[in-house]
Structure 1
Amino acid sequence: MSRTLTDQPEMITASFKGLQGAFELDASFRLSASGVTALFGPSGCGKTSVLRCIAGLNQMKEGYFSLKGEVWQDGESFLPAHKRPVGYVFQEASLFPHLSVEQNLIYGQKRSRSAPAPDQTVLNQADVVELLGIGPLLRRSPNKLSGGERQRVAIGRALLSRPRILLMDEPMAALDRFSKNEILPYLERLHDELKIPMLYVSHDITEVERLADQMVLMEMGKVKAAGSLQTLLSDPSLSLSSMPEAASVLTGTLTAMDDAFGISTIVVSGQRFQIPGVKGPIGRSVRLRIEASDVALSRHMPEGTSSILNTPSVTIETIQSFGQHMTNVFLGLGEDLDRQTLIARISRKSLHALDLRVGDRLQAMIKSVSMVRDV
């Protein structure tokens, strides 16, 4: 059995180095063993390779992995895959076609060989069925299910094996947009209700922004950065802010609702945002997403009538040019410890016309804000 490290009780520590065919992997990170950690990057950058190393399906001679202090690999000391308490959900659901949905779930329960961790939520079949909304599917054959339904059953089977970590390898890559929208709320429920960490592989940044708490950013077999989602999205030194769909993720608190107009007030770092469609209860923490291209800047509060509801005061932290004609302006919301970062994407012409400099106090004019989930 693996030894225990007393200095890493609530962490995931991973380090894998070596060749897989012609592909060189050299990836290391250490993050909190809680919530959802996204492994993000372009196709072929090594995300799935890291996941397979954690599952014990690939073995690197120069490898190390520990979960909450329990070491599964330390060099050539290696806990085999069948002894690792992991739930693995692949791109394809890989259900047994000759078994019903219920029988597939029972298979997952029979596979369980490990005792749950002391702080782990132990789910029985009824819990999983309710959590994933698959009660009406139990008697069906897998070939009678939609893509989203198959993936929910695959997740249920993985959960019933009582894993200490859930590994999800692009579980929505094969789904159309409708099926993705069907399954995302169930993934959010897993995030909110389970106490086991999840590692989620994706190359879709909108999925990551909605689900993840932490991110491991990978490029060409290496970890470029690892940390909180908000920190990495707003880091000017990383490629994330130069993506066409670059966005800021902010955390706020619902403080008021105007039922007559269907508008809710959410306070983010002391600034009030008004957002349509967000419901109570008052005091709930929510995650907001704002695309960089939806943020305009002004040196003065706009006068007269405007359809723009959100015009927070901001301070320029960093100005970053990229491409021939575009600029990202990184803006501080709030003060000191409560400060969050908003990104505005403007033209170089606008930068020149406004004569913007680091430290300038401005008004941001935000065209659109979306709430992606509770926090």
Structure 2
Amino acid sequence: MTGACGGAPGVAAQRVADTESPHSPAIDAFLDATLPKGPGGTVVAARDGRLVHCAGFGLADREKAVPAGCDTAYDIMSITKQFTAAAIVKLEMAGRLRVTDPISTFLGPVPPDKRGITVHHLLTHTSGLDDEQGGDDYEKVSRGRMLSVALKSRLQSTPGAEFHYSNLGYSVLAAIVEKVSGAGYERFLARELFAPSGMRQTGYVLPRWRPGQIAVEYDEQGEPRGRPNEHPWAPDGPYWFLRGNGGIISTPRDMFRWHRALEGDSILSADAKAKMFKPYAYVGALNGGKYYYGYGWGITDTSAGTAIEHTGGNDWSFGDFARFPRRKTMVFWITNHVQREGKWNLEDLDAELTLGVERRASG
């Protein structure tokens, strides 16, 4: 939850009725008073394992006048990291690895300065790996080339010493998932996480997206930048400077299903979830509280109690997925048009939107 500021009314007329997706009048009224006119997206709220609100605002595709809704598919960006982390702890549950293992166990000989890096360090962004050594998300980079770049890079700090957010580190984790499981990264997630959770519309290339289901993204001038899977990708998903750290496409309804799966122990054990949600690395102050990083999740104190959350963003879109264990609530909101130059930036509204929706969902 990155910030808060005011907004302008006027999105109610753009909202499309969906009899299979609940609307909370209180949340509708809050969004109408808070969101500016222009962006498209979807807001989800759940309480006690039940959907309270799942509805779109604005358009998923302006050129074709397609409204955003509960089943619109979006690039969830860095929220992808929680699935990579879950895959790692799932493999640990199966006895296939330990998070204390050095990366050389899976990658073979590594340079001397990387010998101290463990899986735990990658999960908590304390490996010291430097994202500046990587390239563009859509650069045509193989798994082997990505690993070569990571292992040859200059570390920002000694492994375990400091927090340095690293997309490259999560791509290395995705490579470890493949090497340990013997399956492709997306296929492992689909088999072990998505299918058992009932998530049929989440992945890179495996889901059968309906025509127009994936939202078009828009830049700060309001110009269309295409759908996320229309950028250069390999046949099995994004190239390796994006794979594992971002790029998963999902629907808000599927993200609710993931939240519901995390409330039980059938996908991940109670011990595995406790490990994933533990605040290991101090990141800094956020909205008046302290922000820590676990395994693919941030942990922070809020007015609604402890929040376990992760945001995702690029130049065009932004989303936040937040779970509030004490109140048994969840909020997920996402937009395909995060900012309009000189007018609004929804990232600045993150804390206000997330906590405002949660407050009305919790009753």
TM-score normalised to structure 2 length: 0.25
Higher relative contact order (CA 8 A, sep 6+): 2
TM-score normalised to structure 1 length: 0.24
Which structure shows the bigger proportion of residues in helix conformation?
Answer: 2
Larger Rg: 1
Which structure shows the bigger proportion of residues in strand conformation?
Answer: 1
